Amino acid sequence: MNQGQTIRIQFSAKDGKPLRISNILLLIQFFTGGNYLYEFEIGRTDVSGRLTVSYGDVEKRRSACAAEFPKDYSTKLEECDPAVKIVVPSERELASRMRKATEDYGRPPDWAAPWPSNARTKAQEKDVDLAEKTVEVHLSAI
């Protein structure tokens, strides 16, 4: 992902029409040389079933992680592959992540309050090529 890039994500019905499904927590995965490198929460859908995330949004998360774990998060986003994966985690995966974070840090992660509405949609992953300045991503809700 490069400076100035934006990803616009929209949940859609099977007929392609926008689906108003809010509070769905989404993740983005980065790779180098085709190998998994990073995963970050990128936010939640709004009442229109949409989420827009910029390079700056993701870089802020990477930088925060790098401050805590400098060696693990030293690769800049620009150095990653231009292909990323947008992930809609399942309810079960979110519960597992919350338990692990609570065990490791003594408190639930910030994203857990309020609890995401991911149970309202199917878990899925979508490969996305970041070839353009603005990339449109459509996710199926069912």
What digits encode the pLDDT tens for the residues 62-108? 999 999 899 999 999 999 999 999 999 999 999 999 999 999 999 99
| CATH number for the domain running over 6-140 | 2.60.40.1120
- DSSP line for 67-122: HHSTTTT-S-GGGS-SEEEEEE--HHHHHHHHHHHHHHHSS--GGGSSPP-GGGS-
pLDDT in tens, 107-142: 999 999 899 999 999 899 999 999 999 999 999 876
- Sketch the domain layout of the chain as residue ranges: 6-140
Q: Is 1 helix (H, G, I), strand (E, B) or coil?
A: coil
pTM here is 0.92
